[in-house]
Structure 1
Amino acid sequence: MKFGIAKEQITPQNPVYMHGFGSRTHKSEGVLEPLYMTATLMQADRSLLIVTIDALGSDRSFVVGIKDALKSAYGLAHEEVLINFSHTHHSVFLTGLDPSLRRGGYSIGQSGWAYDESELDYAEDEAYYVLLRDTLLRMVGSCYENLTEGELQMARGSSDFACSRRRPDGTGGVRWMPYYEGEIDKDLFILKLAGQAGEIRGIVYCYGCHTTAMGSDNYKFGNDFAGSVSARLEDRYPGAVAIFLQGCGGELKPRPGAVEDEFVSCDEESLHQVSNVLAQDIIALMEQGSFKTVQCQFRAELCDPLLYTEQLPASFYKTIAEDPQQDDFHRSAALRTVKAIENGTIKDRVPFYISLWQLDKDTSLIAMEGEVTTGYALKIKRLFGNGSMIVLGYTNGVFSYVPTRQIIGEGGYEAECNYYFGLHGPFIPEIEDIIIGQVAEGIGRMSK
């Protein structure tokens, strides 16, 4: 096989309103560490492209625009491109040029949370999109021009770096607290790209955990623990590009940041200490793990089913919008939802990308849109996995949380924050059946 890797900084040059924490009240205040975009092109019987972006996520306007541009420039089909977001809460949420595919409710140019969509001007967002699009096209061109003969190798390990934030309250519900005993997907995968002489050119590490070691009091750009981990790996393996792929970490936070019954936000110094825990697990796997060579017989599919929501009345959200105890973020989101219900633009279903890649007959990758919770990774691997299946979230867009049937039944943040995202109500429990069914059908088609 052949591969090419490119990496460039994408840190906004001017202060913008970061996304990820609703309690933020003003624009960014400098740079803790640069934000990056990477492109990894793998070419065998067909080409596959992995793009990673240090951002909270994006809507369809961004993803479709980027994929259309890649198809026009290089002939890459939509299913041959994965765009994975680190989900750092110290960056921005991305949109593109097509307003019909825009999630709305946020702009990098805002000075506070908008109570009406008409208050938002997306000129800065669109300019940033064009910058990222053109930068990525140049990067992918460089990948094609500098394709290197080599090998793709994979190793599977385990890490206790993540911890559930959904502790059962004893009455069928949950509290936002560290749940150390909670079952999570602990898989740590490394895809290693090596040249013909064995030199390491790329280290793609895959793990699911919210990039929220730091808290809402940080107004500096950065990629949270993933940025520190990647920097550590690149220092240890000179000449290699370290690339983080975000897994199904919807309800997971860094365990080293948990102290008894609460999560404690890191400052700049403690961030590196927390990040070092995951870095050490990756280094141990790099140096002691059992790597197998992937035979690189590529297949790719892209499914796009609809996920449906309940339909709560406008009065439910009016109560939130009129509650003086709520902050601007929650009140503005509730008010936008009320207006959308009243004018008929509210969403009670959303499309949901599921990418399925077969890297060889034994090695596969399932990547889903949104803040996918860890239960999906566990279930997909139990039903279809063979120890060589990577399951990702935060891929090809991040519209909303994607809770399991169990989480929907328990309630709590991941199940009930639908109005942040312009949805009519919580997802119906049957979305789990839709997702698992689509994965099963896709795997079946690829195995023929």
Structure 2
Amino acid sequence: MDCPEAPQALNSPLRSFFCSTLFALLVSPAPAAAVEATWRAGAASVGVTPQKSTWMAGFGARNKPSEGTAQELFAKALVLDDGAGHRLVIVTLDLIGLPRTLRKNLEQRAQAAWRLPPEFLLLNASHTHSGPEYSIGKVPADDMDLKVLAESEEYGAKLEETLFQLIGTALSKVEPASLSYSHARAGFAMNRRLPTKTGYRNSPNPDGVVDHDVPVLRVAGADGKLRAVLFGYACHNTTLPLYQFSGDYAGYAQDFLQAGNAGAVALFLNGFSGDQNPYPRGTVELARQHGRTLATAVEAAMAANPKPLDEPLSAAFAEIALPFAPAPTREELQKVIATKDTRQAKRAGRLLAEIDRKGRLAADYPYPVQVIRFGKQITLVALGGEVVVDFSLRLKKELAGPMVWTAGYCNDVMAYIPSRRVLEEGGYEGREASLASSILPGPWDTSVEELIVAKVHDLNRKAAPAGSPSGSR
């Protein structure tokens, strides 16, 4: 190689080194550029309000079916395609929960119809207590339970087809988009585990732990206008104890956001709100007030220094065997049946019948854990059940990245998911709720927190983008 650019003052060895270095720089390949997302997005919405009076979900004190509709219930779908071969579908529901069977059926159908990998499908329930009873898998205790179960199965069969068509509609609307993210805060959620001399009571506890973060993902069209907004909050969706269907505060928040942005679809992801309630509560006016507060926080997040989202998608999904505490014996169940506690006696009878059918009670439950990464920018942790806020605070400390977004009520809602602290303290989320379940044999084992957190870290590593050694702090 002739090297006329080398300074002539250099002696021969230095001149040779200069020339060889220049040659290496000229012929060496440039470092690979980081893959950037070229976003395309689509969103759709469909009503899922029952067309007839049905029994409602959530509050055991209700003693009659629904009496009309205060606010329509919706299912919504958001499709995000990063242009690098990854496509994410998020489905949100104005319902108290969703069963594992719904997740599995939609997962199989979406994979067959659109080649959507299971890890790129996320289902979330808002946990409104003003929707229809939808509890596939419960064991009926009497003729009334049989009637409610029949209604649930009829509604669920229609819902599955509705959601499948909804996903297809959202996919058909995919168009170029730009994404940005930010967060704000809302303060109406309060811890509801109040310590007393006799244990933990389900009452407002202003000194208890909370997570007031409001994560927001904004989706704009090529013209810059809002096409969709995905937002979250950790609070039970339980302002209303009425007999009318309603999406509660989460439904009103979505309505406010859509009313101010014609044509946009607003989607709500409930967070780790197992031990969080809205306060004050009890009226439609308060539900609207909390909805307006949350919508204002979302608007603030979209206006306050939003960051462009330009890194591609990755995801991982698994079910882990989440263990129950040692199950009651046949003798212990027979003693419960002999007591005057009618509710527990019925439950004990159901558990005895299960032992007769299967030979034993279940030792564990297939629990869903999902991690979705937007490169190194957003880590979305989606867990099943009613997860208490301890998990959110812990994972936000342990996982790396500008935004760690936690969502509960995802992919299967089977029970409360208490931390070890809550399990040991007892109370409603720790033990009492599990003793009212007709699906589960009893409380969880104290190991569940560590098992879940370990699986989150494992999936986070699997979904970590190149150049991120672990995705954890």
Q: TM-score, normalised by structure 1?
A: 0.88
Change (3 A) 1:413 1:64: same
Contact 1:400 1:421 in 2 (8 A): no
Residue in 2 aligned with 1:2? 40
Structure 2 CA distance for aligned equivalents of residues 202 and 106 of structure 1: 40
Change (3 A) 1:6 1:93: same
Contact 2:55 2:148 in 1 (8 A): no
Identify which of 107, 117, 125 aligns with 1:85.
125
Which deviates further from its counterpart, 394-403 or 54-63? 54-63
| Matched residue SS, 1:87 | coil
Task: Please give the residue correspondences for 1:398-417 in structure 2 after superposition, counting only pairs within 5 Å.
Answer: 398-416=413-431, 417=433
Residue in 1 aligned with 2:393? 378
Identify which of 353, 370, 379 aligns with 1:355.
370
- For 2:105, the aligned partner's letter is G
Contact 1:303 1:353 in 2 (8 A): yes
What is the CA RMSD across the aligned residues, in angstroms? 2.3
Structure 1 CA distance for aligned equivalents of residues 422 and 335 of structure 2: 24
The Cα shift of 1:81 comes to 0.3
- For 1:105, the aligned partner's letter is V
Change (3 A) 1:375 1:319: farther
Change (3 A) 1:273 1:445: closer
Structure 2 spans left out of the alignment, 5+ residues: 1-38, 467-473
Structure 2 CA distance for aligned equivalents of residues 346 and 422 of structure 1: 11
The Cα shift of 1:40 comes to 0.4
Change (3 A) 1:106 1:277: farther
Residue in 2 aligned with 1:230? 254
Task: Please give the residue correspondences for 1:74-113 in structure 2 after superposition, counting only pairs within 5 Å.
Answer: 74-94=114-134, 103-105=137-139, 112=144
Structure 1 spans left out of the alignment, 5+ residues: 96-101, 258-264
Structure 1 CA distance for aligned equivalents of residues 329 and 63 of structure 2: 30
The Cα shift of 1:157 comes to 1.9
Contact 1:27 1:111 in 2 (8 A): no
The Cα shift of 1:151 comes to 1.1
Q: How many residues align?
A: 421
Residue in 2 aligned with 1:98? none
Contact 2:94 2:131 in 1 (8 A): yes
Residue in 1 aligned with 2:95? 55
Residue in 2 aligned with 1:198? 224
Structure 2 CA distance for aligned equivalents of residues 68 and 41 of structure 1: 17
Residue in 1 aligned with 2:350? 336
Change (3 A) 1:338 1:147: same
| Matched residue SS, 2:49 | coil
Structure 2 CA distance for aligned equivalents of residues 273 and 141 of structure 1: 34
Residue in 2 aligned with 1:392? 407
Structure 2 CA distance for aligned equivalents of residues 381 and 74 of structure 1: 33
The Cα shift of 1:93 comes to 4.7
Matched, 1:312 2:331: no
Q: Percent identity?
A: 28
- For 1:8, the aligned partner's letter is V
Structure 2 CA distance for aligned equivalents of residues 106 and 17 of structure 1: 14
Q: TM-score, normalised by structure 2?
A: 0.83
Structure 2 CA distance for aligned equivalents of residues 345 and 238 of structure 1: 56
Contact 1:57 1:93 in 2 (8 A): no
- For 2:47, the aligned partner's letter is Q
Contact 1:347 1:424 in 2 (8 A): yes
- For 1:152, the aligned partner's letter is L
The Cα shift of 1:69 comes to 1.6
Residue in 2 aligned with 1:273? 289
For residues 48-73 of structure 1, what are the alpha-carbon distances to aligned partners after superposition, in whole Å with 9 as ceiling and x for unaligned? 00001111112211211121121122
- For 1:229, the aligned partner's letter is A
Structure 2 CA distance for aligned equivalents of residues 322 and 400 of structure 1: 27
Identify which of 239, 247, 267 aligns with 1:213.
239
Structure 1 CA distance for aligned equivalents of residues 140 and 397 of structure 2: 38
Contact 1:105 1:333 in 2 (8 A): no
Residue in 2 aligned with 1:260? none
Change (3 A) 1:93 1:300: farther
Matched, 1:22 2:60: yes
Identify which of 164, 179, 193 aligns with 1:152.
179
Structure 1 CA distance for aligned equivalents of residues 143 and 78 of structure 2: 36
Contact 1:336 1:422 in 2 (8 A): no
Structure 1 CA distance for aligned equivalents of residues 137 and 108 of structure 2: 19
Residue in 1 aligned with 2:461? 444
For residues 261-289 of structure 1, what are the alpha-carbon distances to aligned partners after superposition, in whole Å with 9 as ceiling and x for unaligned? xxxx42223322333332332233233x2
For residues 151-183 of structure 1, what are the alpha-carbon distances to aligned partners after superposition, in whole Å with 9 as ceiling and x for unaligned? 111102222221110012257x32221111112
Matched, 1:177 2:203: yes
Change (3 A) 1:290 1:93: farther
Task: Please give the residue correspondences for 1:158-169 in structure 2 after superposition, counting only pairs within 5 Å.
Answer: 158-169=185-196
Query: Considering only CA atoms, is the larger Rg found in Structure 1 or Structure 2?
Result: 2
| Matched residue SS, 2:379 | strand
Structure 1 CA distance for aligned equivalents of residues 89 and 79 of structure 2: 5
| Matched residue SS, 2:362 | coil
Contact 2:41 2:81 in 1 (8 A): yes
| Matched residue SS, 2:380 | strand
Structure 2 CA distance for aligned equivalents of residues 104 and 89 of structure 1: 17
Contact 1:346 1:422 in 2 (8 A): no
For residues 57-116 of structure 1, what are the alpha-carbon distances to aligned partners after superposition, in whole Å with 9 as ceiling and x for unaligned? 122112111211211221112111000000111113546xxxxxx522369xx973x3xx
The Cα shift of 1:401 comes to 0.6
Residue in 1 aligned with 2:11? none
| Matched residue SS, 2:204 | strand
